[in-house]
């Protein structure tokens, strides 16, 4: 068989064919003339908020003081990995201290070093001195009777029991009860009496005596009316305090001056709040951070590895800006933990029904009040509707981040990124004041 070859003229070598194919391939890619791929299946729509909440929720119970139910392992794992555990609460119930007590139990085996509460440093120190003592509750009750409204939260049985329980399970003689807040509304008389008891020089003693007389007069009027707006910390002026401040700096010891600084800072915050100035929230947030930093420094500073439980009102413990548009204590702890290679876990615990206590006036009994629809903001309605049928509900808010929910309320979005976990309590019961 003979093969007929085409004429030499115009013949294309194999190498030329390969080169031309390569060029064509490049041109085809540049001109997007490649074969069309198979059509991708249509993307599934993102879940609705209700669907995502249902997937992120788990049932929680407290049995014999311990966390139980399907949510317990998730909580135990998250708490075990954190040096700082922050509980942002709705106030004045029995249930939130029960939850915090169970958290103390989980933190203690790895070294629970401190409980941080929404009280002033002085009343926290007073309470710590009584922890473990048989007359613990009576000491705080006696303080509250003599100086009404001087012991924020720690004059509630459940809150005081929480501090005692955490100190007990910590089994650490260096356990700290840290109060970061300004001293409470009625504490001026107590602080002034303690300053006078340090024995300052005659000029300072006379200046403090004048303030004591003024405080007693204002407290008597407030007790008669029940209106705290007339108390010393809301009425005293900077000019009235300046004289005693200067005298104490010259004739007072370190304890007297530290007490007076707390009194003066507290008065400034309360007066600013009285005048409806938003600056009071910023002043208070700065004081919380400064107090915590001082406490950490006193415990060992950056190298200190103690585990800390922080329990404050819910708005204080957001990461980022809270609903008051402040970078508050929670954000400070989160940033401090990041900067020092630590971990912070933020848990919101909100009562959505039942009863809690509300303030009844200066020197007056606290009042029981139902938690109704007016106490639960509209933006929380999806969380209310999404609760499990029985018991408490744990929402893992981390699972809701970076999901494009349609029409998500900005405040709910703030909660999702401001807290890691949310516990809802459908029916709360009011706390018990110490009397």
pLDDT for the residue 43: 66
Is residue 25 predicted with pLDDT exceeding 80?
Answer: no
pLDDT bracket for residue 40 (50, 70, 90)? low
pLDDT for the residue 15: 43
CA distance 169 to 184: 28
Count of CB atoms situated within 10 Å of the CB of 241? 17
Count of CB atoms situated within 10 Å of the CB of 200? 23
Mean pLDDT, range 143-160, rounded to an integer: 96
CA distances from 408 to 98, 314, 383, 423 (A): 32, 20, 13, 20
pLDDT for the residue 300: 87
Count of CB atoms situated within 10 Å of the CB of 68? 15
Q: What is the mean pLDDT of the chain?
A: 90
Is residue 22 predicted with pLDDT exceeding 50?
Answer: no
In angstroms and rounded to an integer, the radius of gyration of the C-alpha atoms of the chain is 31
Length of the chain: 435
């Amino acid at each position: 068989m003979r093969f007929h070859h085409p004429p030499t003229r115009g013949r294309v070598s194999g190498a030329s064919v390969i080169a031309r194919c390569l060029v064509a391939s490049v041109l085809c890619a540049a001109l997007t003339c490649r074969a069309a791929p198979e059509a991708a299946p249509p993307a599934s729509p993102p879940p609705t908020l209700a669907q995502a909440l249902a997937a992120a929720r788990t049932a929680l119970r407290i049995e014999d003081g311990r966390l139980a139910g399907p949510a317990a392992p998730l909580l135990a794992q998250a708490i075990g990995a954190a040096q700082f555990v922050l509980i942002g609460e709705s106030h004045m119930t029995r249930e939130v201290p029960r939850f915090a007590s169970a958290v103390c139990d989980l933190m203690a085996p790895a070294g629970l070093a401190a409980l941080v509460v929404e009280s002033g440093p002085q009343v926290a120190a007073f309470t710590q001195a009584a922890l473990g003592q048989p007359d613990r509750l009576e000491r705080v009750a006696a303080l509250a009777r003599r100086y009404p409204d001087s012991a924020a939260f720690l004059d509630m049985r459940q809150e005081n029991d929480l501090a005692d329980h955490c100190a007990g399970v910590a089994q650490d003689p260096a356990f700290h009860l840290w109060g970061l807040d300004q001293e409470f509304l009625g504490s001026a008389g107590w602080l002034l009496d303690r300053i006078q008891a340090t024995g300052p020089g005659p000029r300072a003693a006379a200046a403090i005596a004048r303030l004591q007389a003024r405080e007693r007069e204002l407290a008597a009027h407030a007790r008669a009316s029940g209106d705290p707006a007339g108390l010393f910390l809301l009425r005293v002026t900077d000019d009235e305090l300046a004289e005693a401040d200067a005298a104490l700096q010259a004739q007072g010891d370190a304890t007297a001056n530290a007490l007076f600084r707390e009194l003066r800072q507290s008065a400034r915050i309360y007066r600013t709040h009285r005048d409806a100035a938003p600056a009071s929230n910023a002043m208070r947030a700065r004081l919380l951070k400064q107090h915590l930093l001082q406490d950490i420094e006193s415990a060992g500073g950056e190298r200190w590895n103690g585990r800390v439980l922080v329990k404050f009102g819910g708005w204080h413990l957001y990461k980022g800006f809270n609903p008051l548009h402040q970078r508050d204590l929670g954000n400070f702890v989160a940033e401090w933990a990041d900067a020092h290679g630590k971990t912070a876990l933020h848990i919101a615990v909100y009562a959505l029904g039942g009863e809690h206590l509300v303030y009844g006036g200066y020197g007056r009994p606290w009042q029981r009040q139902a938690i109704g629809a007016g106490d639960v903001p509209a933006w929380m309605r999806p969380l209310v509707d999404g609760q499990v049928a029985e018991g408490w509900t744990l929402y893992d808010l981390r699972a809701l981040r970076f999901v494009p929910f349609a029409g998500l309320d900005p405040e709910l979005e703030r909660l999702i990124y401001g807290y890691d976990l949310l516990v809802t309590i459908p029916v709360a019961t009011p706390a018990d004041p110490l009397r």
